[in-house]
Amino acid sequence: MEVVKLTDVTRVYKIGQVETRALNGVSMDIQSGEFTSLVGPSGSGKTTLLQLIGCLDQPTSGKVIIAGKETAGLNRNQRADLRKGTIGFVFQFFALIPTLTAYENVEMPLLLNGKNAAQRKQRVMDLLEGVGMIERARNRPDQLSGGQQQRVAVARALATDPKLILADEPTANLDTENGEQVMEIMKKLNQDTGTTFVFATHDPRVIKYASRVVTLKDGVIEKDSRANGK
Amino acid sequence: MINYFKLAYRNLGRHRRRTLFSALALALGTALLMFIAAFFEGEMRSAMETTIRLNSGHLQVRDADYDLDKLSVAWDYLIEDPEQVANQIAALDQVAAATPRLFASGIVSVRDESVGVQIMGIDPASAANDPYRTLTAGEFITTDDRDGILIGLPLAESLGLGVGDKLTLLVNTADGDVDEQPFTVRGIFTTGTTAYDKGIVFLPLAKAQAFSGAGNRASMIFVLMHDREQADAVAAALQGSNYTVETWVQLNELLVLVNDFSNAYLSIINLIVLGVTVTVIANTLLMSVLERTREIGILSAIGMKGRQIVSLFLAEATLLATGGIAFGALGGWAISAYFAGVGVFFGDLGLSSDMLLQDRIYPYLTLDASVNLIVTAFIVTLLASLYPARMASRMEPVEALHKAQ
Ligand SMILES: Nc1ncnc2c1ncn2[C@@H]1O[C@H](COP(=O)(O)OP(=O)(O)OP(=O)(O)O)[C@@H](O)[C@H]1O
Ligand SMILES: [Mg+2]
């Protein structure tokens, strides 16, 4: 089943007179359960592509269909709704809300989805357990290491059981050990729950986890290979 | 349900000093406005009350042709047999006191100094004359005193007069002549209103009548009511063919006007002060939004809608407003209460007898004014926070995330 279907997607950034063609006619499908790695040199359009898939941005032209839903013409609130139920994000920087504890950060998407207190508690504890952060549940982000923060961020991305998790260089700010740990968690989730992962990365150590590697260059797909024999 | 207030509380706690200062700005503004409102109210109440007590009364019954400004004692303009008229009026249930008064214009002279005064002949026994009974020296005049006079403290001071001293009083008489006679200062009074006290002297009614040649006549019947709201009803009942009856509202048109005017003036002050404080609040929230661009991007990315982001910032404004305004209201009330006790000294503002003010103004805080102010400050603060809140809700998640990277 297709979770993502991109058809001839182009994204042009315009700053003053300068136009940057960040993506230039990209077409691709992502199947449910795939663990896809987007690679390519800096400026090749990885982040731009993730943002379009994540409905954080809209293409200049082309079609983006997420979980069977055409995203063109959705207004801000409709896009927020789509994200809320379908997509989880893990960012390069440790994107936790600084005033909330690890527990509350993971709880936030559940609150936004209107889950009741009992459901939330159970789910948050399970998730923190899953990323090995249960003893740090009451800590604020500034009391956690980068790796710990990123694990909380992964737990948050998973909270609502999204079909699709998008991660933009999730290991870029982590040392090898923490990077591996976060990747292991994601890989395990992918295998256990069949959640679809797409992550952008430069990190060759990370690419080995992927079942599929899509290489971008200058806004076009240069290579698309299902590697590692998965 | 998202607990916006919990989030708001923590966000405010991130920058304690900034939060404190914004709340303080709001508190100071509220306290200041509350005190100003209390001061104005106290001033207007005092002006109305003082003017009624000393000058206009609640009702005046006069000859239809009598001119209040001329102080003429020509018989045509006076009321005949005033005691009898006064007694009839005093017999009414709603009336607290009714007493005849005779006005004449005169000049007090001592050695080579002279001062123009209003001479008022009063019935020393009437309760309506209690406001003049606060003496700094000597005694009040009595009904059958033939050469005693009561003068005000400022006049006594400027002429160097003490109890028992002699002065010469000149009067414009009923037949258009002048007469003059020596009097002895029996007492020196103070009403606390210098503008009034410096220009009036009191004689017993009978002596004033004889001295000015007014016979058994008086300029007016001065009436005080138990409840001033009943003045109209009584005035209507008294309206006779050859009398004019005027109520305190008619007699104090200027004061009523000044009251309205000062209310408008107060609104403008409110607007200015609230405008300034609220700018501070809006600025704080705006800074807060700009600093939290990334955070707003994250919240938006995980599915928070514009309306919810607005709620988040409105909750912050609400907490800030509640804290600031509550403190300010408490402070404003405390200051008003303190000065309501000791008064604020203003001295003689040199106002005419149309609007008499005590030398000390006692702020008077009404519940109405307080509630009004609190509600207004609250609403205005929330309105001002709407702009930063909407700005936050309109950030595109990508841009919000980008800015931070
Ligand atoms: N908001 C923006 N405004 C203007 N140009 C942009 C914007 N975002 C990206 N670009 C441009 O689009 C191109 C693709 O950028 P993108 O961020 O997608 O690259 P990337 O592959 O993620 O790079 P990196 O590996 O450095 O993160 C770049 O040339 C970049 O400068
Ligand atoms: Mg990137």
B203-253 per-position pLDDT tens digit: 999 999 999 999 999 999 999 999 999 999 999 988 876 789 999 999 988
Q: At which residue do the structure tokens 């295998």 appear?
A: A191
Range of the domain at A132: 2-222
SS3 assignment, position B250: helix
pLDDT of residue B354: 62
Tokens of A111: 């609150």
Q: Choose the mutation target among B292, B302, B309, B311 for the interface with A, i.e. most A CBs under 10 Å.
A: B302
Q: If you count DSSP H runs as helices and E runs as strands, how many of each does chain B have, helices first?
A: 13, 14
Q: What global pTM score does this model have?
A: 0.78
Residues 285-344 of B with CB under 8 A from A: 294-295, 298-308
DSSP strand E in chain A: where? 2-15, 18-31, 35-39, 61-66, 69-70, 87-90, 164-168, 196-200, 212-217, 220-225
Which residues approach ligand 1 with their CB closer than 6 A? A 13, 15, 20, 22, 40, 42-48; B 402
Average pLDDT for residues B107-123, to the nearest whole number? 94
pLDDT band for position A118 (50/70/90)?
very high
pLDDT of residue B405: 45
Report whether pLDDT(B404) > 50: no
Contacts of A76 in chain B (CB under 8 A): 305-306, 394, 396
Q: Could you tell me the residue ranges of all domains in chain B?
A: 2-52+255-403, 65-240
Instruction: State pLDDT tens for residues B9-26.
Output: 988 888 899 899 999 999
Mean pLDDT of A47-51: 92
Residue B228 token pair: 């001033």
The rounded distance, in Å, linking the Cα atoms of B109 and B73 is 21
pLDDT band at A230 (very low <50, low <70, confident <90, very high): very low
Is residue A33 a part of any domain in this protein? yes
Q: How many domains does chain A have?
A: 1
pLDDT one-digit tens code per residue, A101-117: 999 999 999 999 888 99
Place of tokens 């509550």: B326
Is A136 inside any structural domain? yes
Nearest CA in chain B to A99: B10
Q: Residue A229: its pLDDT value, please?
A: 46
Q: Which ligand is nearest to the CA of A39?
A: 1
Neighbours of A207 (CB within 10 A): 16
**Exposed (0-12), middle (13-18) or buried (19+): which is A75, by Cβ within 10 Å?**
exposed
Least confident of A59-68, B118-127, B189-198, B396-405: B396-405
* B322 pLDDT tier (thresholds 50, 70, 90): very high
Mean pLDDT for B142-147 is 93
C-alpha B188/C-alpha B160 separation (Å) is 12
Average pLDDT, chain B: 90
- Give pLDDT, residue B213: 94
For residues B125, B224, B352, B100, the Cα torsion angle rounded to the nearest 10 degrees is: -50
What are the distances in angstroms from CA A134 to CA A106, A148, B150? 12, 11, 91
Q: Is A73 exposed, middle or buried (0-12, 13-18, 19+ CB in 10 A)?
A: exposed
Residue carrying structure tokens 């609250």: B378
pLDDT at B358 over 80: no
Phi, psi of A12 (to 5 degrees): -110, 125
What distance, in Å, lies between the first and last C-alpha atoms of chain B? 31
| Contacts B299 to A, Cβ<8 Å | 97, 108
Percent of chain A with pLDDT over 70: 98
Length of chain B: 405
B72-114: pLDDT as tens digits: 989 889 999 999 999 999 999 999 999 999 999 999 999 889 9
Task: Give the C-alpha separation, A64 to A48, whole Å.
Answer: 13
Ligand 1 geometric centre to CA of A18 (Å): 13
* Residue corresponding to tokens 């003045």: B231
Query: Cα separation of B40 and B59, whole Å?
Result: 26
For residue A219, the ligand 1 atom closest to its alpha carbon is 14
Q: pLDDT tens digits, residue range A164-184?
A: 999 988 888 778 888 888 888
- Whether A79 maps to a domain, the answer reads yes
Kind of pairing between the strands at B166-172 and B178-189: antiparallel
Task: Please state the rounded mean pLDDT for residues B37-57.
Answer: 90
At B314, the amino acid letter reads L
Question: Which residue in chain A has the smallest CA separation from B402?
Answer: A47
pLDDT band at B403 (very low <50, low <70, confident <90, very high): low
- CB under 8 Å to B343, separation ≥6 — which residues? B360, B361, B362
pLDDT at B352 over 70: no
Distance from CA of A212 to the nearest CA of B (A): 25
Are the beta carbons of B103 and B119 closer than 8 angstroms?
Answer: yes
Q: Do residues B140 and B150 touch, judged by C-beta distance below 8 A?
A: yes
Q: Taking CB atoms and an 8 Å limit, are A89 and B302 in contact across chains?
A: yes
Q: Which of B286, B301, B384, B305 is nearest to B4 (CA)?
A: B305
- pLDDT single digits (tens) A185-211: 888 889 988 899 998 988 887 888 889
Please judge whether A76 and B295 are an interchain contact, meaning their C-beta atoms are less than 8 angstroms apart: no
Question: CA–CA separation, B278 vs B325, rounded Å?
Answer: 11
The residue among A217 and B280 whose pLDDT is bigger is A217
Residues 6+ apart with CB under 8 A from B209: B102, B121, B215, B216, B217, B218
Residues 9-48 (B) with a CB less than 8 A from some CB of A? 10-11, 13-14
Model confidence at B47, in pLDDT bands (50, 70, 90)?
confident
A172: in domain: yes
Answer yes or no: is A42 within a domain. Answer: yes
H or E element at residue B36: helix B16-51
Is the residue at A227 inside a domain? no
Q: What is the ipTM of this complex?
A: 0.88
pLDDT, tens digit, for every residue of A7-22?
999 999 988 889 999 9
What DSSP state is assigned to residue B190? -
Q: What is the structure's pLDDT at B349?
A: 65
Q: Which of A58, A59, A53, A28 is nearest to A214 (CA)?
A: A28
Mutate to test the pocket of ligand 1, among A14, A17, A48, A214 (most ligand atoms within 8 A of CB): A48
Start-end of H helices in B239-305: 248-251, 253-291, 293-301
Query: Residue A136 C-alpha to ligand 2 middle, in angstroms?
Result: 30
Residue-wise pLDDT for B147-174, tens only, equals 999 999 999 999 999 999 999 999 999 9
Atom of ligand 1 nearest to the CA of A200: 22
What type of residue is A168? D
Distance CA B9, CA A31 (A): 43
Confidence of residue B353 (pLDDT cuts 50, 70, 90): low
* A230 occurs within a structural domain: no
Mean pLDDT of B280-301: 88
Predicted local distance difference test score (pLDDT) of residue B83: 94
Structure token digits, residue B97: 């006191």
CA of A168 to the centre of ligand 2 (A): 7
CATH number of the domain encompassing residue A173:
3.40.50.300
Contacts with A78 (C-beta within 8 Å, 6 or more apart), sequence order: none
Q: What is the pLDDT of residue B401?
A: 67
Contact A34, A196 (CB under 8 A): yes
Among A50, A60, A83, A88, which Cα is nearest to A185's?
A88
CA distance linking residue A38 with residue A46, whole number of Å: 6
A46 Cα to the center of ligand 1, angstroms? 8
Decide which of B1 and A42 is more confident. Answer: A42
- pLDDT for A109 equals 92
Question: From CA A29, how far away is CA A2, in angstroms rounded?
Answer: 6
* Residue B181 vs residue A185, higher pLDDT: B181
Determine the pLDDT at residue B355: 67
Between strands A18-31 and A220-225, the pairing is unpaired
Q: Say what the pLDDT of residue B347 is.
A: 72
Contact B117, B167 (CB under 8 A): no
- Give, for B376, the enclosing helix (H) or strand (E): helix B367-393
Rounded Cα distance, B128 and B136, in Å = 19
A228 occurs within a structural domain: no
Residue A80 and residue B303: Cβ atoms within 8 Å?
yes
